[in-house]
Structure 1
């Protein structure tokens, strides 16, 4: 639908978004090293060991697989609620998630501080995976990607800075500058529309919804003291 490019919203409380940058580096490194086939490629079975598979998760969390072809390193299914966030299916999947995280994650990190932002990001991703499994308890399709955690970041940003101007690339080619309320509101609405129309056949829309819900609730309690909600900032300094 669109890719975010830049927001006019400077940091106020931290010098640099170290956690946001680190998460992006980790995601890119994991994809490059293990999923491109250039260095230590994982086959489909071993890559799926790090994914959330609802049927296995809801069945009690038995070890799901291995990072080695011999299956010598079993992974408890509960651990996949974290590991799945760092596995992506393609460069497009990875770039889309990381673009949203880069543009919007820094200001959410700024509102929370580094440590709380790490906890916030992981909790959003975990709840996204859990909701997906609850709603699709018999599914054996692997859930991968940072979309659920990033959806939490999107919800938090929208609650914090709805009036900030954001540059987006609409339809992947048309640069437009609009408010975060419009850009992110359209993105959020699209998740619910797609959930109703498509179900969960191709994209884990329930994971997106779970991440959004978690982010919207957690920002109320995890922001720094003095950080206002729905601020009236329209642009940076």
Structure 2
């Protein structure tokens, strides 16, 4: 539907979003080494061994011999670093690049790590609950990306974001409208999807988890819904004109 390119929100409290960069690098490295075959022969069993399989997570099924590498509960995290293809990977990395740095800035490095892990849990459980008998592995960081997007719109709904609408038309719109359209699209697909497309629930679960967590994990001096941004704009206008904005 759209591709985010860049936003107008500066990073003010941290030098670099190291957690975001590290997460992106880990996803890219795992794909390059174990899935794409760019560095070594691809590991065809990686999605089964490290992906989140609902029937295995809930204990109704077991992996075939030779595929059991980590406990079923750990796949909630390991599945984040595998992707279904280069476009799947690139899309998630682009969303993290545009929105992740500001969320990390407003939460702080350590709380942002906790935020990512909890969004992984929320999205993974939502996916598994939506198809508890599914034997198909869930892979990708899309659920965490959904949580990051939720936190961003809770923090900065008024910030302008450059996007490619329908992957072609460049537009600069407020985050509220862009992410609002994204939410409607995700929720609609989750409600209408058949058994083969229940991964949409991972996006919905991640988004809800991120929206709930951001209020609890944000820095004490950070205000939701761009209230501090509005105040800065008003002070700047008053200093410039001598009149209230």
Q: Shared fold by TM > 0.5? A: yes
Does residue 1:208 correspond to 2:208, yes or no?
no
CA separation in 1, counterparts of 2:67 and 2:223?
50
Q: Which of 150, 168, 172 in structure 1 is aligned with 2:167?
A: 172
| Residues 45 and 65 in structure 1, CA contact (< 8 A), matched pair in contact too | no
Does residue 1:114 correspond to 2:109, yes or no?
yes
CA separation in 2, counterparts of 1:119 and 1:143?
21
The offset of 1:196, in angstroms, is 2.0
Partner of 1:162: 157
Partner of 2:145: 150
Q: Which has the larger radius of gyration?
A: 2
| Residues 47 and 139 in structure 2, CA contact (< 8 A), matched pair in contact too | no
TM-score using structure 1 length: 0.91
The offset of 1:45, in angstroms, is 2.7
Does residue 1:90 correspond to 2:81, yes or no?
no
Does residue 1:5 correspond to 2:22, yes or no?
no
Higher helix share: 2
CA separation in 1, counterparts of 2:57 and 2:71?
9
Does residue 1:222 correspond to 2:213, yes or no?
no
| Runs (4+) off by over 6 Å | 234-237
- DSSP 3-state at the match of 2:140: coil
The offset of 1:38, in angstroms, is 2.4
Cα 1:126–1:65 change in 2 (3 A) is farther
CA separation in 2, counterparts of 1:111 and 1:197?
35
TM-score using structure 2 length: 0.88
The offset of 1:42, in angstroms, is 3.9
CA separation in 1, counterparts of 2:198 and 2:163?
22
CA separation in 1, counterparts of 2:54 and 2:67?
23
| Residues 34 and 43 in structure 2, CA contact (< 8 A), matched pair in contact too | no
Does residue 1:15 correspond to 2:44, yes or no?
no
- DSSP 3-state at the match of 1:44: coil
- DSSP 3-state at the match of 2:225: coil
Does residue 1:135 correspond to 2:135, yes or no?
no
RMSD: 2.1
| Residues 50 and 75 in structure 1, CA contact (< 8 A), matched pair in contact too | yes
CA separation in 2, counterparts of 1:76 and 1:21?
27
Gap regions ≥5 residues in structure 1 = none
Does residue 1:31 correspond to 2:26, yes or no?
no
CA separation in 1, counterparts of 2:67 and 2:184?
44
CA separation in 1, counterparts of 2:144 and 2:28?
16
Report which stretch shifted further, 36-45 or 189-198.
36-45
Output aligned runs, 1:53-72, within 5 Å: 53-59=53-59, 64=63, 71=66
- What is the aligned length? 232
- DSSP 3-state at the match of 2:40: coil
Gap regions ≥5 residues in structure 2 = 237-245
CA separation in 2, counterparts of 1:188 and 1:42?
34
Partner of 1:102: 97
Partner of 2:69: 74
